[in-house]
Amino acid sequence: MGESLPKSDTVRFAHASERQFAQLLDFYGITWDYEPTSFDIEWDREGHVVRRFTPDFFLPEFDLYIEITTLNQKLVTRKNRKVRQLRERYPEIRCKVFYQRDYLSLVTKYGLEDRSG
């Protein structure tokens, strides 16, 4: 039988940065799930959910969610606010934001430039 594809080759990602991060996780044999959970983080006065946050990755071995951000500062600020709301409402949930500088350092170090075309 042929070898199975790395998980990063079988998932449709929203951004190339997410695919590259998944390739890094695959390379190190780290189990991950892509966007497995959405958390309710804001409600209106009637108690209806008006905002949810879905972290990019969950690493079950580490009980850790990862949010990748390689976007402009305005969007980074918005993601930071969502992570802060997540932590306030779900203190048992661990979530780490991976910032552009951290991410680009890993991509360069491990040669994970976007190969998807």
Give domain status of residue 36, yes or no.
yes
Give domain status of residue 79, yes or no.
yes
Residues in the chain: 117
Residue 78 has pLDDT above 90, yes or no: no
In 3D space, the residue among 40, 25, 31, 34 whose CA is nearest the CA of residue 110 turns out to be 25
Q: How many domains does the chain have?
A: 1
For 104, the 3-state DSSP assignment is helix
Amino acid at the residue 13: F
Highest average pLDDT, of 2-11, 18-27, 66-75, 96-105, comes from 18-27
Give domain status of residue 49, yes or no.
yes
pTM for the whole thing? Answer: 0.81
Higher-pLDDT residue of 99 and 3 is 99
The domain in which residue 48 lies consists of 27-107
Give domain status of residue 15, yes or no.
no
Give domain status of residue 86, yes or no.
yes
Give domain status of residue 3, yes or no.
no
What pLDDT band is residue 54 in, cutting at 50, 70 and 90? very high
